[in-house]
Amino acid sequence: MAEQQASPENVLFEYALRLGDDRLILGHRLSEWCGHGPILEEDIALANIALDLLGGATHALEVAAAAEGAGRSADDLAYFRETVEFRNLLLVELPRGDFAYTIARQFFFDAYSVHLMDALSKSKEPQLAELAAKAVKEDRYHVRHSAEWMVKLGDGTDESHARLQNAVNDLWRYTGEMFLSDPTDEAAASAGIAPAAPALKEKWNAVVDDVLARATISRPANEVFMRGGRAGRHTEHLGHLLAEMQIVARSHPGAEW
């Protein structure tokens, strides 16, 4: 758990790390589609969204690095931390799966991120407010894109419907982690620098219910959720992702091109 990090001066570091890691890892997962998209235009769209997420990650990790004040850069945080030091949601580190799986995961995250960034743009912490004001515009497009695909796949052929329903069923247990509270989240909320995670659930539910209904996909009844990512307890998939993502930076530390 993250209790030991809850001292006030560390709250901004921890909170920005969460924002950065979610976007860094999801951006990397999405980038795996580059050159493999189902159609050229969608390949470009996924790469665009991956780049938006990486831009958001860079921004958030810069905030985290400055808040930490230990001389680490955003790149150091991205490329020289171990699995247990990452604070991303389990949802974003899962393998990309098939296209339906990628879309369902993206939609669940987008519907969360757009409301998080909307609330965060009113943060008392100017660095987070600035980051969120930029990200919320991108997120509005992301959720429009992924929601459109949810409806296309869910309300498409028998096969696309079945694949999307499977993906939704598989991923559902990872969605609850977005709305769990812990000491870092509570400290950030009480300091007025971020919305409390549980407060986002109602808005997320409204978006998800609307889109699932239009996609003719049934909402899983399961309300038992996986957790651990925020405290550094990850699935076995994150280590493999990091190995690939970090190899160049670690093989050639300080390299520039």
Partner 1 sequence: MKRRKRTLRRTRRANAQPRLERLVAGEPGAVKAKAASAEGEQGDGADSQWPLWEVFVQPSQGAAYEHCGSVHAADGEGALQNARDVYARRGEAIGIWVVPSAAIVASKPEDAGPFFDPADDKVYRHPQFYKIPRGLKGF
The stretches of the chain forming alpha helices (DSSP H) are 8-31, 40-68, 74-79, 90-93, 99-120, 126-154, 158-172, 183-190, 201-214, 236-251
Q: Is 169 in the site for partner 1 (CB under 8 A)?
A: no
Select the residue interacting with partner 1 from 3, 9, 35, 40 (CB under 8 A).
40
- Rg of the chain (C-alpha set): 18
Which of residues 214, 220, 226, 246 is near partner 1 by CB under 8 A?
A: 214
Measured between alpha carbons, how far is 152 from 99 in angstroms, rounded to an integer? 12
Query: Least distance (Å) from partner 1 to the CB of residue 5?
Result: 37
Complex with partner 1: residue 45 or 238, whichever CB lies closer: 45
User: Residue 228 in 3-state DSSP?
Assistant: coil
Q: In the complex with partner 1, which residue's Cβ is closer, 44 or 206? A: 44
Of 1, 44, 84, 243, which one interacts with partner 1 (CB under 8 A)?
Answer: 44
Site for partner 1 contains 160 (CB under 8 A): yes
Question: Which is closer to partner 1, CB of 39 or CB of 221?
Answer: 39
Q: How far is the CB of 78 from partner 1 (least distance, A)?
A: 24
Q: Does 39 bind partner 1 (CB under 8 A)?
A: yes
> Does the footprint of partner 1 cover residue 36 (CB under 8 A)?
no
Residue 152 within binding range of partner 1, rule CB under 8 A? yes
Residue 175 CA to chain centroid, in angstroms? 11
Q: Which of 42, 76, 130, 182 forms a contact with partner 1 (CB under 8 A)? A: 42
143/49 Cα distance (integer angstroms): 10
Of the candidates 189, 186, 187, 67, the one whose C-alpha atom is nearest the C-alpha of residue 127 is 67
Binding segment (CB under 8 A) for partner 1, from list 58-66, 95-103, 105-113, 151-159: 151-159
Q: What angle do CA 141, 157, 29 make, to 5 degrees?
A: 45
CA–CA separation, 20 and 126 (whole Å): 16
Residues listed for the chain? 257
Site for partner 1 in 126-145 (CB under 8 A): 141, 144-145
- Compute the least distance from the CB of residue 212 to partner 1, in Å: 14
How far, in Å, CA of 214 to CA of 216, rounded? 5
Contact set with partner 1 (CB under 8 A): 39-42, 44-45, 48, 141, 144-145, 148, 151-152, 155-157, 160, 214
